[in-house]
Amino acid sequence: MNKSDELKALHEKWLQECACELRKNAIQCVPGDGKASAQIVFIGEAPGAKEDKDGRPFVGSAGKFLAEMLESIKMKREDVYITNIVKYRPPENRDPTSKEIADCAKWLEEEIKLIDPALIVFLGRHSMNHFFPNEKISEAHGILITGEHFGKVRNFLPLYHPAAALYNGSLREVLKEDFKKIPRAMKM
């Protein structure tokens, strides 16, 4: 089986096995999306209303902004892999609980290990704090962190969440500047 078929099989397995309680209220599951051979993986928080409806991560307004920032560094959505720490929309877009994050964690772990990217970008504090609980997004954004996760020592770049930056002009500029650090971070 090639990597892309393996990834498909992995999602099919977890669609059956994921025990996350959020699945009761969501329209559908929103698995990770993108190239199995991607050198960069973005980890967001949880699907929103549009993602829940379409079954793909980051297809709403935060996703449009993410696509714009990818273009600004000459990358396309098709070149990368985008996923979330939880795979189902929390009711009313509330923050996912630690139990919900833990219930989806094995799925995330397996997809990242299979893709094995050069760089993992956290979109927002929820995904960062699951792996680096002592970091603060206001201090850690745009700074490469190294840590042993997903089976080996890897590089992680925390960024503000695009949805938070959409409605805050100064965060928006910070996020755009931090995004420019990605090409270099991928080579470290």
Positions touching ligand URA (CB under 6 A) are: 44-48, 51, 57-58, 60, 62, 84, 163
Q: By Cβ distance, which residue is nearest to ligand URA? A: 44
DSSP state, 34? E
Question: At closest approach, how far in Å is the CB of 88 from ligand URA?
Answer: 11
For residues 64 and 184, which CB has a smaller minimum distance to ligand URA in the complex? 64
Q: How many CA atoms are closer than 13 Å to the CA of 18, on its beta-carbon side? A: 31
Burial class (CB in 10 A: 0-12, 13-18, 19+), 88: buried
Residue with structure tokens 């449009």? 64
Question: At closest approach, how far in Å is the CB of 60 from ligand URA?
Answer: 6
Question: At closest approach, how far in Å is the CB of 89 from ligand URA?
Answer: 9
Secondary structure (3-state) at 123: strand
For residues 146 and 178, which CB has a smaller minimum distance to ligand URA in the complex? 178
Cβ atoms of 52 and 10 within 8 Å: the answer is no
- Rounded to 10 degrees, the C-alpha dihedral 133/10/48/95 comes to -30
- Distance from C-alpha of 45 to C-alpha of 115, rounded to nearest angstrom: 19
For residues 127 and 151, which CB has a smaller minimum distance to ligand URA in the complex? 127
Question: At closest approach, how far in Å is the CB of 81 from ligand URA?
Answer: 13
For residues 76 and 152, which CB has a smaller minimum distance to ligand URA in the complex? 76
Question: At closest approach, how far in Å is the CB of 91 from ligand URA?
Answer: 15
For residues 49 and 188, which CB has a smaller minimum distance to ligand URA in the complex? 49
Of 186, 188, 179, nearest in space to 72 by CA = 179
